[in-house]
Amino acid sequence: MNSRSSTAIRQALQKAERLLIVTHIRPDGDAIGSLLGLGLALKAAGKSVLMALDDQVPTQFRHLEGSELINRSFQRDYDLAISLDCSDKSRLGQFGRDNLEWDINIDHHITNDGYAKINLIDTEAVATAEIIATNIEDWGFQISKPVADALLMGILTDTIGFRTYNMRSDVLRLAARLMDLGANLPELYARNVYQKSFEAVKMWGSGLSRLQRKDGLVWTMITNEDRSEAGYPGKDDADMINLLTAIEDAKISVVFIEQPNGKVKVSWRAVAGVDVSQVAAEFGGGGHPAAAGAELTGKIEELYKIVLEKTYLHLRRGQ
């Protein structure tokens, strides 16, 4: 942890009156949890806070208090701009394009390029929400029940319920403290880790029916047709990638997700000792050693072969 950055953040947060806080497009639990955790804590201290992201809040996160306050647009009426859980500006959507300057960047992605004036990047942290939960009281703000729920949700989702290889005993102590402050672990676990909609599970069926493997590499794809047949409203894989990681001997799992706009989203997962963020970076994406993603333009039937070949070579090289 960079303590100089943390001190600079405390000073900036204390001084600021109107804050813009933004997270990445296609928000996951850590993005929403970090945004709400920091945003609600600052609001409770009397600051004027605009929480924003260039996308919708996914339905599974709308049970969280404050999620209705998240905006898609903003006015240039702020004195501090903060970006959370976002490794580079391109993942901020319109907020990344408008030549905005970022004062603070809090993140745990190994691929973060340090685009803000103050960068607090801790790649050991399991979630950006962990960094916020660890520091927020030192920064002078309180953890209320809604803040505790949001931050614990961020930690839970990025660790898939405390089971990723980067888990540390510290994280469990921090989670226990968030529970002491009111966070409802069983409810967050149910809603945001294992419960899925009927449509999501139906779509998994299509993806699973095409499952393939070659040595330690396991992959499948979800097409636009699968999505509409199942009636699944999202553009993502409904976390099917995490289902593939349950397969014994799968060293790398890959899901290709066809997008309505002619793009293909690729998600990689790897076991400990294999770094898929490097492969994702070759395709203009990023992420963590164990979990990475990229978005490519082209036809899914052509792209998947190229991506699998590189991934397979990467796996062989690493062994």
CB of 54 to Mn ion, least distance (A): 17
Say if CB 246 and CB 80 are below 8 A apart.
Answer: no
Interface positions, 298-317, toward Mn ion (CB under 5 A): none
CB of 171 to Mn ion, least distance (A): 13
Name the region of 275 (left: φ>0; alpha: ψ -120 to 50; beta: rest).
Answer: beta
Identity of the residue, 216 or 286, whose beta carbon is nearer to Mn ion in the bound complex = 286
Of 25-33, 47-55, 116-124, 228-236, the window that binds Mn ion (rule: CB under 5 A) is 25-33
Interface positions, 37-56, toward Mn ion (CB under 5 A): none
Question: Where do we find the tokens 């990344």?
Answer: 96
CB of 158 to Mn ion, least distance (A): 5
30 touches Mn ion (CB under 5 A): yes
Of 92-100, 139-147, 152-160, 298-306, the window that binds Mn ion (rule: CB under 5 A) is 152-160
CB of 257 to Mn ion, least distance (A): 19
CB of 126 to Mn ion, least distance (A): 8
Say if CB 227 and CB 200 are below 8 A apart.
Answer: no
Structure tokens given for 92? 């901020």
Of 24-32, 74-82, 213-221, 222-230, the window that binds Mn ion (rule: CB under 5 A) is 24-32
Q: Which long-range contacts (CB under 8 A, 24 or more apart) does 75-80 make?
A: 75/50, 77/18, 78/18, 78/19, 78/20, 78/50, 79/16, 79/17, 79/18, 79/19, 80/12, 80/13, 80/15, 80/16, 80/18, 80/19, 80/20, 80/104
Question: What is the side-by-side order of every strand in the sheet holding 286-287?
Answer: 212-214, 217-222, 252-258, 263-270, 291-297, 286-287
Interface positions, 168-207, toward Mn ion (CB under 5 A): none
CB of 3 to Mn ion, least distance (A): 21
User: Among 103, 122, 130, 158, which residue sits at the site for Mn ion (rule: CB under 5 A)?
Assistant: 158
130 touches Mn ion (CB under 5 A): no
Question: CA 121, CA 318: separation in Å to the nearest integer?
Answer: 26
Identity of the residue, 12 or 291, whose beta carbon is nearer to Mn ion in the bound complex = 291
CB of 109 to Mn ion, least distance (A): 7
Question: CA 151, CA 74: separation in Å to the nearest integer?
Answer: 24
107 touches Mn ion (CB under 5 A): no
List, in sequence order, the alpha helices (H) in the chain.
Answer: 3-15, 29-44, 94-97, 128-135, 145-158, 169-180, 185-189, 198-209, 224-230, 240-244, 277-282, 300-318
236 touches Mn ion (CB under 5 A): no
CB of 87 to Mn ion, least distance (A): 9
User: Among 36, 52, 85, 296, which residue sits at the site for Mn ion (rule: CB under 5 A)?
Assistant: 85
Of 11-19, 48-56, 128-136, 309-317, the window that binds Mn ion (rule: CB under 5 A) is 128-136
Identity of the residue, 26 or 227, whose beta carbon is nearer to Mn ion in the bound complex = 26
Three-state secondary structure call for residue 286? strand
Convert 218-237 to b/e letters by CB count within 10 Å (16 or more is b).
bbbbbbeebbeebebebbbb
Identity of the residue, 226 or 236, whose beta carbon is nearer to Mn ion in the bound complex = 236
- Interface with Mn ion (CB under 5 A): 30, 85, 127-128, 158
